[in-house]
Amino acid sequence: MKTLLTGATGFLGSAVLRQLVEDGRNVRVLARPNGDRRNIEKVDCEVLEGDLNDIPSLQMAVAGCDALFHVAADYRIWTPNPSELYRTNDFGTVELFRAAAAAGIERMVYTSSVATLGIHSDGTPSNEATPVSRSDMVGHYKRSKFDAETSVMSLISKEHLPIVIVNPSTPIGPRDVKPTPTGRIIVEAAAGRMPAFVDTGLNVVHVDDVALGHLQAFKSGAIGERYILGGEDLSLKQILAEVAEIVGRKPPVISLPRAPLFPFAYLSEVIARLRGGTEPMLTVDGLRMSKKRMYFSSAKAQKMLGYVTRPATEALRDAVEWFTSNGYVK
Q: What DSSP character marks residue 257?
A: P
pLDDT number for residue 196? 94
Share of the chain above pLDDT 70, in %: 100
Averaged over 267-288, what is the pLDDT?
88
Q: Please determine, for residue 53, whether its predicted confidence score (pLDDT) is greater than 80.
A: yes
| Separation of alpha carbons 230 and 213, rounded Å | 9
pLDDT number for residue 214? 98
Q: Please determine, for residue 101, whether its predicted confidence score (pLDDT) is greater than 90.
A: yes
Beta bridge partners of 109: 69, 164
pLDDT number for residue 221? 98
Burial of 48 (0-12, 13-18, 19+ CB in 10 A): middle
| Separation of alpha carbons 109 and 163, rounded Å | 5
Residue 314 — φ and ψ, nearest 5°?
Answer: -70, -40
pLDDT number for residue 175? 98
Answer whether 173's CB lies under 8 Å from 319's CB. Answer: yes
Averaged over 163-187, what is the pLDDT?
97
Strand runs labelled E in 79-153: 107-111
Query: Given pLDDT bands bounded at 50, 70 and 90, which one contains residue 39?
Result: very high
Q: Please determine, for residue 277, whether its predicted confidence score (pLDDT) is greater than 90.
A: no
Residues 213-256 pLDDT 10s: 999 999 999 999 999 999 999 999 999 999 999 999 999 999 99
- Alpha-carbon distance values, 118 to 49, 297, 307, 313 (Å): 36, 12, 22, 26
Query: Given pLDDT bands bounded at 50, 70 and 90, which one contains residue 273?
Result: confident
pLDDT number for residue 92? 97
The CA-based angle 322-323-328, given to 5 degrees, is: 150
Beta bridge partners of 108: 68, 163
Measuring CA to CA, which residue among 41, 69, 47, 71 is closest to residue 60? 47
| Separation of alpha carbons 18 and 232, rounded Å | 23
Averaged over 151-159, what is the pLDDT?
98
Measuring CA to CA, which residue among 177, 192, 181 is closest to residue 287? 181
Superfamily of segment(s) 2-237+291-325: NAD(P)-binding Rossmann-like Domain (3.40.50.720)
pLDDT number for residue 274? 86
| Separation of alpha carbons 62 and 54, rounded Å | 13
Averaged over 137-145, what is the pLDDT?
95
Residues 4-13 pLDDT 10s: 999 999 999 9
Averaged over 65-83, what is the pLDDT?
94
| Separation of alpha carbons 69 and 6, rounded Å | 7
pLDDT number for residue 278? 81
Query: Given pLDDT bands bounded at 50, 70 and 90, which one contains residue 19?
Result: very high
Strand runs labelled E in 89-240: 107-111, 163-168, 170-172, 196-197, 201-206, 226-229, 232-235
> What is the average pLDDT score of the chain?
96
Query: Which of 15-29, 248-262, 272-286 is most confident?
Result: 15-29
Q: How far is CA 298 from the centre of its chain?
A: 16
pLDDT number for residue 1? 79
pLDDT number for residue 276? 79
Query: Given pLDDT bands bounded at 50, 70 and 90, which one contains residue 153?
Result: very high
Burial of 274 (0-12, 13-18, 19+ CB in 10 A): exposed
